[in-house]
Amino acid sequence: MLSIAATFENSDGKKRRLRMKDVNPNGSAEDIKTSLEKLTAVNLFEKDGVNLFQEVVGAKFIDKIETVIFDEKTGLAPEPMLAQEDIANNVPAEEVPLMIDPRELIVEEKLLQTGLLMQIFELPEEVDSDDLSQDEALSLIMAIMPPGGTLEDISMQEEGNSERFKLIVRLAEEK
């Protein structure tokens, strides 16, 4: 599914993102920019006296690819694009140098139960998760996880200008 992710600056100078689905990919860059600028002209989006979409900063197309994990009717399951055993064994497909210290990104860590850790981390404002390659994202996740940990689950939520990621990690048993 094709969508457009537009970045705006609000009247306080902070960045905001707006994502719209089912867009026409055939418009020129100037046409798309003109359409997005209409949002800034109507001043409909305001919160606590702050115009949320003051100026268009940029936009990009995002092509979301959905991969069927299983289908009850056909019983078929395609091969995963990212090898789950690589994630489970903390073996990134390619070692990618990180520009930031991953431990500085963690905003919360909580032991959910014996051997199960929840880690929440947030990317810096200047880093957009859509711009990370698969190998960069995997290397970042592996660097944040405790040594010997196994990734059980990962989820992402957008809150205002920030993206927070929640990892559930099965800790290695101490011997």
Q: What is the pLDDT of residues 118-146, one digit of tens each?
A: 988 887 776 777 777 777 777 778 888 88
Residue 1 confidence (pLDDT): 67
- The answer to pTM > 0.85 is no
Given a cut of 50, the residues of the chain with pLDDT beneath it are 79-96
What pairs with residue 118 in β-bridges?
110, 168
Kindly state the helix (H) or strand (E) to which residue 164 belongs, with its residue range: strand 162-170
What does the block give as tokens for 96? 């990618």
DSSP 8-state code for residue 85: H
Q: What is the CA radius of gyration of the chain?
A: 20
Residue that has been written with the tokens 């990180």 in this structure:
98
Quote the pLDDT of residue 174.
Answer: 66
What does the pLDDT read at residue 87?
46
Q: Coil, strand or helix: which one is 52?
A: coil
**Distant-in-sequence, close-in-space partners of 25: CB < 8 Å, separation ≥ 6:** 2, 61
Taking alpha carbons only, the member of 148, 146, 90, 98 closest to residue 123 is 98
DSSP character for 171? P
Helix (H, G, I), strand (E, B) or coil at 102: helix
Domain boundaries, the chain: 2-63, 84-170
pLDDT at position 85, please? 47
